[in-house]
A = this chain, B = another copy of it.
């Protein structure tokens, strides 16, 4: 729904623990008047991601924290509605940090254009063909470096990134074991996505199930979660294992310091490599990922699902679906019509 005011979610106070709707303030302001070089983007889809929680802390992160009073940062897809910038004419589809608002006033910096006739639904640009797909692709292939016949374990396996990581692992010829938080998710991983095994961490002993499903040990671990799951994996890693540290969602809402893994010393005994990874570092080489991911998708080798919630007003109460595990696919807020 297009509107002629700009409705916005601004940060009211930093969350302590889980995000509460009261951490944000709903505000409205008139649409701005453009200056030379500026564009006004009508936001269509807003991506909600675990990493958003990190931007709300006071502490240092890979991006500066969102300050109280500021519009909440968010990645999204939109369309240029007004333009005084020749590089972004009206009607251009774009993706970038558009924020939790109806309209973004931008100068085009760090804004990417989408194809004018996208071959896939726009929501795909917030998943398979966006940050999410790039994260899975570069994290697994450039950091994890899986080889045919190796065992790949993925935590947060039914999440937007994890589900792609596991499928790319299968394409690479790995045995793939996913860890997720419900029977439905585990079934989806095994029956729809072709994972070799899936472990429900809420009902199973992760260590025992990993022992059972990884009879040759673990060569590559794609980490989205942290905590006890990481400790169980570290117990079972093979010599020269690679651990891709993509996320540690289990601790994003922690209110006390969280210890690192107790089996940290196994990194030495197994000569393993633990490498932190943020997809922003790969933005000058997205073409490689895009063309492979698109091809795999066209060949039916990769599937994804989206969980689209209607209405900007629902963003604050929706984001915790990522942390309580109730989302079913890439979590997206629909702000206006395509």
Within 8 A of B (CB), among A22-64: 54, 60-62
Q: Which of A257, A269, A271, A276 has the most CB of B within 10 A?
A: A276
Q: Is A261 an interface residue (CB 8 A)?
A: yes
Q: Is A333's beta carbon under 8 Å from chain B?
A: no
Contact residues of A with B, CB < 8 Å? 54, 60-62, 226, 245-248, 251, 257-278, 281
Give Cα A246 to B267, complex, Å.
Answer: 10
What is the count of identical protomers in the complex? 2
User: Could you say which of B54, B262, B267 contacts A245, with CB atoms under 8 Å apart?
Assistant: B267
Contact partners of A260 in chain B: CB under 8 A? 259-264
A contact patch SS? loop
Which residues of B sit under 8 angstroms from A62, Cβ to Cβ?
A: 268-271
- The residue that A267 contacts in the complex, of B61, B259, B266, B276, with Cβ under 8 A, is B276
Q: Which of A247, A248, A259, A265 has the most CB of B within 10 A?
A: A265
Q: When A259-B259, A273-B273 are in contact, do A268 and B264 touch as well, CB less than 8 Å?
A: no
Chain B residues in 8 Å Cβ range of A54: 269
Q: Is the CB of B268 within 8 A of A278?
A: yes
Beyond A251-B265, A259-B262, A264-B260, is A273–B271 a contact (Cβ under 8 Å)?
no
- A266: chain B residues at CB < 8 Å are 276
- Candidates B265, B271, B276; contact of A271 at CB < 8 Å: B276
Q: Can you name 24 A-B pairs with beta carbons within 8 Å?
A: A62-B268, A226-B264, A226-B265, A245-B267, A245-B268, A247-B268, A248-B265, A248-B268, A257-B262, A258-B262, A258-B264, A258-B265, A259-B260, A260-B261, A267-B274, A267-B275, A268-B277, A268-B278, A271-B276, A271-B277, A272-B275, A272-B276, A273-B273, A273-B276
